[in-house]
């Protein structure tokens, strides 16, 4: 048996899998309801642990160093050695969540993807995996002797690069709010949607009360996207336009940096939940706005992964003789 988990800033998904890769059981937790990962883990372990567990594989939103991870958007410090002591399981693997997502994507069927353009991927060429959700994650897939190798990164924290006057104003707004450095994650993420919406409050001073009236669990990003999809609020629509243009811009940057002729894969919850909005064109506009290299970028396929358990499956596959 393999215990896999996708440990995110908003939710943590657990799955128990048999030796064939079939999921036996699973459970979802709200991450921010727990002060430590150990408390959350022990709850699942006490209810679902079984003898014969061969490995524990955790896909975690944060950098992995020497078997430890200090999560980016939660106050957690996860250590593989602590989980070994708690469970008695010798093989405990900590993976970056986008590393696991990339492994999962390589093993998903075509039905789990929606294409944004007509370009098609070239075999054994570099792939970019980009995921906007609670934060912004990035990973690359490259090939050695036609064998895939996943490279994890913390590229979501590179400097945000505005490309027009409005985005320059947004940068200044975020610099003031966050005391200096502004990463792409501050813009292209759920918290980024909330901040863009706040930024546009100056332009749209007469805010519609529909946002507050329909709020669920104080999730501003979800409410803004709902209103934009329903075309009920201009400020929400403009928020998502800016968001997706910036999402496209960082995707285009990465496509040029690694020449991703194998394609761009958008994972994470935001793209999959906003297919109507991402198809309106702002993402593609930001993606190809690279001057002399616009034609090259038009050759690169872009697809959205609609399977929200890609990281969980990737963590599971890490131990099923599919280590990449």
pLDDT at 10: 87
Q: Is 240 helix (H, G, I), strand (E, B) or coil?
A: helix
Helices (H) and strands (E) in the chain, counts: 13, 14
- Which domains does the chain possess? 2-105+309-317 (3.30.420.40), 156-305 (3.40.367.20)
pLDDT at 216: 58
Q: Is 297 helix (H, G, I), strand (E, B) or coil?
A: helix
108, 310 in Cβ contact below 8 A? yes
Written as tens digits, the pLDDT of the chain (324 aa) is 899 999 998 899 999 998 888 999 999 999 989 999 999 999 998 888 767 789 999 999 889 999 999 998 889 999 999 999 999 999 999 999 999 999 999 989 999 999 999 998 899 999 999 999 999 999 999 999 999 999 999 999 999 999 999 999 999 999 999 999 999 999 999 999 999 999 998 777 655 566 666 665 678 899 999 999 999 889 999 999 999 999 999 999 999 999 999 999 999 999 999 999 999 999 999 999 999 999 999 999 999 999 999 999 999 999 875 545
What is the per-residue DSSP string for 104-126? HHTTS-GGGEEESSS--PPTT--
Distances (CA, A) of 62 to 71, 148, 154: 5, 22, 8
254, 128 in Cβ contact below 8 A? yes
Task: List 13's β-bridge partners, or say none.
Answer: 6, 28
pLDDT at 241: 97
pLDDT at 213: 65
Query: Is the backbone of residue 12 left (phi > 0), alpha (psi -120 to 50) or beta?
Result: beta
pLDDT at 49: 77
Give buried/exposed letters for 193-217 (b at 16+ CB in 10 A, else e).
bbbbbebbeeeeeeeeeebeeeeee
Tokens of 274: 């906003």
pLDDT at 72: 84
């Amino acid at each position: 048996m393999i215990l896999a988990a996708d440990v995110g800033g908003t939710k943590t998904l657990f799955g128990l899998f048999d030796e064939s890769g079939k999921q036996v059981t699973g459970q979802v937790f709200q991450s921010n309801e727990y002060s430590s990962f150990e408390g959350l883990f022990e709850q699942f372990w006490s209810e679902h642990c079984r003898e014969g567990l061969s490995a524990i594989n955790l896909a975690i939103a944060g950098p992995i160093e020497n078997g430890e991870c200090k999560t980016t958007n939660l106050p957690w410090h996860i250590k593989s050695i602590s989980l070994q002591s708690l469970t008695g399981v010798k093989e405990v693997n900590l993976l970056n969540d986008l590393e696991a997502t990339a492994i999962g994507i390589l093993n998903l069927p075509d039905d789990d993807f929606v294409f944004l353009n007509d370009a098609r991927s070239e075999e054994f060429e570099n792939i970019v995996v980009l995921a906007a959700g609670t934060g912004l994650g990035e990973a690359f897939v490259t090939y050695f002797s036609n064998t895939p190798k996943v490279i994890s990164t913390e590229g979501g924290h590179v400097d945000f690069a505005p490309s027009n006057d409005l985005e320059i104003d947004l940068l200044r707004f975020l610099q003031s709010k966050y005391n200096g450095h502004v990463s792409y994650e501050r813009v292209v993420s759920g918290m980024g949607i909330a901040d863009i919406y706040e930024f546009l409050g100056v332009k749209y001073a007469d805010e519609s009360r529909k946002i507050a009236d329909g709020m669920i669990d104080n999730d501003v990003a979800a409410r803004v996207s709902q209103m934009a999809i329903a075309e009920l609020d201009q400020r929400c629509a403009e928020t998502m336009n800016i968001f997706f243009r910036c999402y496209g811009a960082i995707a285009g940057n990465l496509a040029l940096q690694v020449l991703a002729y194998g394609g761009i894969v958008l994972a994470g919850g935001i793209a999959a939940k906003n297919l109507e909005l991402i198809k309106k064109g702002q993402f593609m506009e930001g993606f190809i706005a690279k001057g002399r290299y616009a034609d090259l970028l038009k050759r690169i396929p872009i697809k959205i992964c609609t399977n929200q358990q890609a990281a969980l499956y990737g963590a599971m596959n890490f131990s099923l003789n599919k280590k990449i």
